[in-house]
Amino acid sequence: MPQTPHLPPELLEHIIHFSIRAGSLKEALRLRLQGDFKTLVEQNMFRTRFLDDSVRALRAQGPAFGEPDLGFLKRYLAFCVNAGHEVTT
């Protein structure tokens, strides 16, 4: 398992932010699977509302939607509700 680089947290957050924006949703979700980066990736995706455009597409997958993905979507929607963000589905 890769180790988290010894970088200042602010720099690591910027690297994660631009890594997510440079790729697709699928690549961002793959980056999230790296144990050391999971929290940073999720916080960045939630805080910047990266998933807003993808919520409808994720929910439209219906029964094929895997349990871990459904849990992630629930956490994101809970974050939006708690933060007072409006998410149209």
Q: What pLDDT sits at residue 85?
A: 79
Tell me how far apart the 2 most distant CA atoms of the chain are, in Å: 41
Q: What pLDDT sits at residue 5?
A: 60
Look at 15 and 67; give whichever has higher pLDDT.
Answer: 15
User: DSSP H helical segments within 23-50, as ranges?
Assistant: 25-32, 38-47
Structural contact between residues 45 and 51, judged by C-beta atoms closer than 8 angstroms = yes
pLDDT band for position 61 (cuts 50, 70, 90) = low
